[in-house]
Amino acid sequence: MKLEKTGGILIVRLDGELDHHYATKIREAVDGAVMVGDVRKIIFDFTGVGFMDSSGIGTLMGRYKLMQTLGGSVGVFGISPRLDKLLSMSGIKKIISIYNSEKEAVGGVS
């Protein structure tokens, strides 16, 4: 996982398998970076995620709630058809933005 912060945008580059084990690490790292301050938007880069279970939904939901209390937002890009199927099941696509590319995500066009 790599975190990059530029101008109020926190990009979280995920890698590997997003299960409950990895989810607890993501939560710690991302919330830590957000608490440092000045994050208006968290963007998750899913390009490197080869596996995800429902823990990933919980992780996105949790970051959405956190950003809501701070008046910010959450977006994702790099979603494979399989991950898209999982996200669709939970209704989370109604509350976070799914982008087709990093450029779109950073630019904020949905």
Partner 1 sequence: MQYSNEMKIIFPNKSSNEGFARVAVAAFAAQLDLTVEEMSDIKTAVSEAVTNAIVHGYENLKGYITVECKILDNTIEITVNDSGHGIADVEKARQPLYTSRPELERSGMGFTVMETFMDEVSVTSALGVGTTVTMKKRISPKE
Residues that bind partner 1 in the complex, under the rule CB under 8 A: 17, 19-21, 23-24, 27, 51-55, 57-59, 61-62, 82, 86, 89-91
| Shortest separation between residue 82's beta carbon and partner 1, angstroms | 6
| Shortest separation between residue 90's beta carbon and partner 1, angstroms | 5
Checking phi first, is residue 14 left (phi over 0); if not, alpha (psi -120 to 50) or beta?
A: beta
Contact 52, 83 (CB under 8 A): yes
Give the nearer residue to partner 1 in terms of CB position, either 27 or 102. Answer: 27
